[in-house]
């Protein structure tokens, strides 16, 4: 089981593009949504960016897009629920991996909410602040350094999520693999030990039901950010 690899040779502008792309891919599949592209448009939007990204992140993203393509929103939603909502070892809520449903999880989620507020934005309504797609969108479009700090802190859960998705043959494994390629690994041994502990012990308690995620950035601003962020560093 290969969980870890170092992040090298990726510009910050590319990291932001990857994060926003994966945020779209991890959004709940639906054809009608307020302020965001429909399911098929998201796949097309991300697919159109792949040639502008380094192979280390473009290739796993392409596997994800290709694996999700050709399915209507209804069937895609069923697959999404089966993948993420009903299998606690594949949760998109980062603090669930480390804190389960204990009181400590509330404190951990507060760190995410505080990071958003310090950057001048409010946590999204109707979604927990530790949802991976929310964190990725925040880092891509609001505050890159704070987003990177949160993703780095939870790199071990991300690695376990990618491995679990890969074991079930899910296209979403490629999306999480691309994110991992953008997140530095300051101490690989510490990350390995943390992932090993989480895998062996599991979350402290059973998780509550997971609500569908909805991207919060309006579609016009989202598309504009995807077109222009590649030119920033």
206 occurs within a structural domain = yes
The yes-or-no verdict on residue 61 having pLDDT over 60 is yes
Please name every residue paired with 93 in a beta bridge, in sequence order, or none if there are none. Answer: 131
Is the pLDDT score of 201 beyond 80? no
Distance CA 77, CA 205 (A): 26
- Residue 230 in any domain: the answer is no
Residue of 214 and 19 predicted with greater confidence: 19
For residue 6, being part of any structural domain is answered with no
User: pTM here?
Assistant: 0.79
Residue 229 lies in a domain: no
Once rounded to an integer, what is the mean pLDDT over residues 6-15?
79
C-alpha separations of 41 from 44, 82, 184 in Å: 5, 22, 31
Q: What is the CATH number of the domain that holds 54?
A: 1.10.3480
**Average pLDDT, integer, range 67-86:** 89
DSSP 93: B
d(CA 5, CA 56): 11
Instruction: Give percent above pLDDT 70 in the chain.
Output: 72
- The arithmetic mean of pLDDT across residues 162-178, rounded, is 96
Whether 220 has a pLDDT exceeding 50, the answer reads: no
Is residue 2 included in any domain, yes or no?
Answer: no
Residue pair 143/32 in contact (Cβ under 8 Å)? The answer is no
The residue among 230 and 141 whose pLDDT is bigger is 141
Query: % helix / strand / coil in the chain, to the nearest 5?
Result: 65, 0, 35
Q: What element of type H or E holds 166?
A: helix 155-167
Q: Identify how many contiguous H helices and E strands the chain contains and give both numbers.
A: 12, 0
The torsion angles phi and psi of 131, rounded to 5 degrees, stand at -65, 135
Asked if residue 232 belongs to a domain, the reply is no
Q: Note whether residue 5 is domain-resident.
A: no
What share of the chain has pLDDT > 90, as a percent? 55
Q: What's the domain range around 100?
A: 12-223
pLDDT confidence tier of residue 17, bands split at 50, 70 and 90 = very high
Distances (CA, A) of 66 to 10, 19, 187: 23, 18, 33
Classify burial at 84, counting beta carbons within 10 Å of its beta carbon; exposed 0-12, middle 13-18, buried 19 or more: buried
Q: b/e for 178-216, b at 16 or more Cβ within 10 A?
A: bbbbbbebeeeeebeebbeebbeeebeeeeeebebbbbb
Decide: 17 and 226 in contact? Cβ < 8 Å: yes
Place of tokens 């109707």: 126
* Residue 142, in any domain of the structure: yes
Confidence of residue 68 (pLDDT cuts 50, 70, 90): very high
Domain total for the chain?
1
**pLDDT, the chain, mean:** 80
């Amino acid at each position: 089981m290969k969980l870890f690899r170092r992040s090298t040779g990726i510009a910050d502008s590319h990291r932001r593009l990857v994060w926003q792309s994966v945020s779209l891919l991890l959004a709940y599949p639906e054809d009608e949504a307020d302020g965001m592209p429909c399911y098929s448009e998201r796949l097309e939007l991300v697919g159109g960016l792949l040639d502008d990204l380094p192979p280390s992140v473009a290739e796993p993203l392409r596997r994800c897009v290709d694996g999700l393509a050709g399915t209507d929103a209804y069937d895609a939603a069923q697959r999404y629920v089966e993948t993420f909502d009903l299998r606690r070892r594949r949760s998109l809520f980062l603090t669930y991996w480390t804190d389960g449903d204990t009181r400590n999880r509330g404190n951990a989620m507060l760190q995410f909410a505080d990071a958003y507020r310090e950057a001048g934005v409010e946590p999204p309504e109707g979604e927990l602040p530790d949802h991976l797609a929310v964190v990725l969108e925040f880092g891509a479009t609001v505050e890159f350094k704070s987003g990177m700090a949160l993703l780095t802190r939870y790199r071990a859960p991300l690695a376990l999520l990618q491995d679990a998705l890969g074991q079930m043959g899910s296209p979403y494994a490629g999306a999480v693999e691309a994110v991992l390629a953008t997140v530095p690994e300051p101490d690989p041994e510490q990350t390995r030990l943390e992932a090993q502990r989480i895998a062996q012990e599991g979350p402290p308690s059973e998780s509550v039901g997971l609500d569908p995620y909805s991207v919060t950035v309006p579609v016009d601003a989202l598309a504009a950010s995807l077109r222009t962020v590649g030119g920033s560093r």
